[in-house]
Chain A
């Protein structure tokens, strides 16, 4: 059984790219379009790893991570933050919210899988 990964991103382009990179690496992918949707899909799909954007409408990545960490079974699911912002403040805020790690956009599919392996082996 392949690992199920939830991607949360408001950009269709980014969602499509993640899906392409992840499915070709053999992962199952479910998607959400913002933090609020993310919490909903999380609850329904029980992913084993989450990749989320930070800057999103309705609920941003921080809110999503905090929300996810409040749900018992997602307390320690690896959550990777996907962002172009190399701003260290942002990474720290994401960590504070409960993120496991981060991926810098634009991502190299190979490195993406590498990071996933690093936090979900």
Chain B
């Protein structure tokens, strides 16, 4: 990749981080934290984005960031108070900035009216306080960062006119103390034309009285040059104030005649050092990276995701290999040898550790995801006229990046739901004795090898009688069904269920919580609701930390060992006589709490046996597929519940119907991981869900 292109990629990554910081800081400011630290961080975020955008000539982004930054600077220096109205504008400006970043990165159309609106609004905030403190005038370079790009190469006059300047220069000690040097200044002058220098040495004392930090010398120089006086002054730009300096144009006729030393103008500025061969650049880069060690930001390297995944896959193989080795050794009876047993134990331990470490490479904190949610809350609060505060906790919790990526949509939906359906309007809240401002709490925490994300609101809670009535009306449950509170709450996840009488354009264009649930399940996650009428609801997502391992139930079917993903199992039961009914030659159903659920003999469905087993001899697992369809899977026995490493079969065997992947158990046995959806689908030709409702 072209290096500039690579830096551009970095720039956009950094923009995302800065936008996150910006959001966090602005929210903190809105909450009243207007300490320097916070305000500076916010300013810095916009400033950085502007800086990078300028380098890549992202004009629109620069323009907007500049106005934004100017307003923030006013807050920073106390000229503008961060009142509520101001902060609201700031937050909306942050949203526009984020959109501009996205458009700059991905291209596509951007509606300028929004950014122009915000620019006008920001300017208005600046102006309203202008009387309080006069804003310092902007320099041209600041208004147009590209002006700085040019640096106006010293213009060469086409006329042969030669100017002469008399330069009187007496450095103060500070000039040297700041790393400037007369020799270099004179060299610069000599590049502008013919230079004659006279050094005034009379003030130099004897060594005995000499003070090294003092400045005893002064100079008088005459420069004959085509350059204008500004070019001469520019040479002394950095030492302004650190010396006595006088630059006077001299009439050409008064040419000076007391040159002490004539310095010829240099033909070309010499490079500081010989340029290095291009080949040495990577080494330089590596060295530069190493230079900043000891800092968290610098201690990272960027690795292609494919490489990480290959490593994860290899470690999966290693885990399996280790398990098999242990098994072989056990079979050979060599385990009586204590040192072999210890060695095997160590190997197992080490393998687990490697596995965990490798998995951790893909882990990322949920912070950026959470930060995005505050914008969602803001937008929906505006749209619904509700007053909402988003509180986040545990943003540092780390999860596999794919999990994070795929969590964005469901989380967005749930957050919208919480505000739109969960929270009451301010007046209703006050009437209920609650503060007008509702709260949505988004939290993440690690719990026993999984991450639990909760979305809690302090709104009205689930109105269960209403939910049940809707479910009955929509034909989702039998009118006389007896449901527990938990079962009623779970009705929200049924396909086609929507509590809002009219489909709100906010909570989702016909997309219901069933879709959310399916996405969570696809990630190997589970979702649960708790709710208290009048006090609010909490949606709790339990997700695996990684997609490379799976919580599974190890079952036995026709002498084969299978693993059923735990997240799809609702409950296990032993069928009692009279609960299983045959519907035709190929279909069996089992009666569960007044409804009927298709019963699938896994061994038969997978072709492990040619005849159905007796349902009474086995165990049934009540499962729910991604489509929300319930089925009962019949297996011979449940053996264990454990975490297994997922090994894809497809790379070796292609797709196997009904099997998602394979794993190898600790005892070395290979076990197939059941694809419950596929099993149900292939067995349900005659058992569509609607049939089941009729049966109920």
Contacts and interface: CB of A to CB of B under 8 A. Distances in A.
Interface of A: 1-3, 6, 10-14, 16-17, 19-20, 23-34, 37, 40-41, 44-45, 55-57, 69, 75-79, 84-89, 92, 95, 98-102, 104-108, 111, 113-114, 116-121
Given A31-B291, A100-B238, A76 B177 contact: yes
B184 interface: yes
B242 interface: yes
Interface string B93-109: 00000000000000000
A106 B298 contact: no
Interface of B: 3-4, 6-7, 10-11, 13-14, 40-41, 43-44, 47-48, 50-52, 54-55, 136, 139-142, 145-146, 148-151, 176-181, 183-184, 187-188, 237-238, 241-242, 269, 271-276, 281, 284-285, 287-289, 291-292, 294-295, 297-298
A98 B284 CA distance: 29
Contact of A108 (B43, B149, B177): B149
Contacts of B298: 31-33, 37
Contact of B292 (A26, A41, A118): A41
Q: Which 5 A-B residue pairs are closest in the complex by CB-CB distance?
A: A30-B291, A101-B238, A26-B275, A100-B179, A13-B11
B55 A23 contact: no
23 contacts: A2-B274, A16-B7, A20-B7, A23-B276, A30-B288, A31-B288, A31-B298, A32-B295, A33-B292, A37-B292, A37-B298, A57-B41, A78-B180, A79-B178, A84-B54, A84-B148, A86-B139, A95-B238, A98-B177, A98-B178, A101-B238, A119-B179, A120-B184
Contacts of B295: 32-34, 37
A118 B184 contact: yes
A110 B463 CA distance: 69
Contacts of A121: 183-184, 187, 272
B142 A106 contact: no
A37 B294 contact: yes
Contacts of B275: 24-26
B52 A11 contact: yes
A16 B187 CA distance: 31
B10 A76 contact: no
Contacts of A28: 284, 287-288
Contacts of A29: 284, 287-288, 291
Given A31-B288, A120-B184, 6 more contacts: A28-B287, A29-B284, A32-B298, A108-B150, A113-B271, A121-B187
Given A29-B284, A100-B178, A10 B44 contact: yes
B346 to A, nearest CB: 38
B241 A95 contact: yes
A103 to B, nearest CB: 9
B151 A111 contact: yes
Contacts of A2: 273-274, 276
Contacts of B141: 86, 104
Contact of B47 (A55, A79, A116): A55
A24 to B, nearest CB: 7
Given A24-B281, A56-B44, A19 B288 contact: yes
Nearest to A83: B51
A31 B238 CA distance: 24
Given A37-B292, A76-B176, A3 B142 contact: no
Nearest to A97: B178
Contacts of A13: 7, 10-11, 14, 48, 51-52, 55
Interface of A is mostly: mixed
B292 A69 contact: no
A118 B6 CA distance: 30
B145 A105 contact: yes
B270 to A, nearest CB: 8
A71 B439 CA distance: 52
Contact of B50 (A1, A41, A84, A116): A84
Contacts of B44: 10, 55-57
A50 B476 CA distance: 71
B136 A87 contact: yes
A67 to B, nearest CB: 14
Contact of B148 (A10, A17, A20, A86): A86
Most central of A3, A13, A29 by chain B CB within 10 Å: A13
Contacts of A41: 291-292
Contact of B272 (A3, A17, A31, A34): A3
A20 B284 CA distance: 10
A81 B389 CA distance: 41
Given A10-B48, A76-B179, A117-B269, A106 B148 contact: yes
A93 B287 CA distance: 32
A106 B55 contact: yes
B48 A11 contact: yes
Contacts of A69: 177-178
Given A10-B48, A12-B14, A118-B184, A88 B177 contact: no
Nearest to A16: B7
Contacts of B294: 37, 40
A100 B180 contact: yes
Contacts of A95: 178, 238, 241-242
Nearest to A82: B51
A6 B7 CA distance: 19
A102 B487 CA distance: 68
Contact of A79 (B41, B54, B179, B242): B179
B453 to A, nearest CB: 29
A16 B285 CA distance: 9
Contact of A101 (B47, B140, B237): B237
A13 B275 CA distance: 24
A115 to B, nearest CB: 9
Contacts of B291: 6, 29-32, 41, 44-45
A24 B279 CA distance: 10
A45 B139 CA distance: 36
Contact of B3 (A20, A77, A84): A20
Nearest to A40: B294
